[in-house]
């Protein structure tokens, strides 16, 4: 869905990768397949911990994939959501941000799992609050989301 949305926006398109691959061969193969299916004209930037700064430096359309892996690499899973939201609002060009949904599945059984769920839920809420549109994609279906304040 994110790639389809980005395809509706003007070039240049930059895929902003947030995942750290490490030594996982299965994950590396998945990332390689993902890269091959993207249009050759798309640039790729590996954002690392400085996602907000990476976004500010880009012109054109950005596809950020994904907030969950980015959050998980931050010390104590603490990020400056205000800086990220400011970068998204102030940057030159459109942004499509992908994130995982948390809290609808099994209750995490560990304190670290609960910390991740809570931190990503808060980050998702912050990013959604500055978004023009927000969608939830479930089972290949797209559900537009409306803020409670808009009801």
Which residues does the annotation mark as catalytic?
34
Pairwise CA distance, residues 81 & 122, whole Å? 9
Strands 135-138 and 61-65: unpaired
């Amino acid at each position: 869905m994110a790639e389809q949305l980005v395809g509706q926006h003007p070039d240049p398109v930059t895929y902003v990768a947030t995942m750290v691959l490490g030594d996982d061969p299965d994950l590396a193969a998945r990332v390689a397949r993902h890269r091959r299916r993207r249009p050759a004209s798309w640039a790729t930037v590996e954002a690392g911990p400085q996602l907000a700064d990476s976004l500010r430096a880009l012109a054109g359309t950005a596809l950020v994939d994904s907030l969950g892996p980015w959050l998980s690499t931050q010390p104590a899973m603490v990020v400056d959501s205000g800086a990220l939201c400011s970068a998204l609002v102030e940057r030159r060009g459109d942004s499509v941000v992908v994130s995982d949904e948390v809290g609808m599945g099994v209750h995490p059984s560990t304190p670290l799992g609960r910390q991740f769920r809570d931190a990503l839920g808060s980050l998702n809420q912050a990013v959604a609050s500055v978004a023009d549109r927000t969608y939830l994609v479930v089972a290949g279906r797209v559900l537009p989301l409306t803020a409670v304040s808009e009801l």
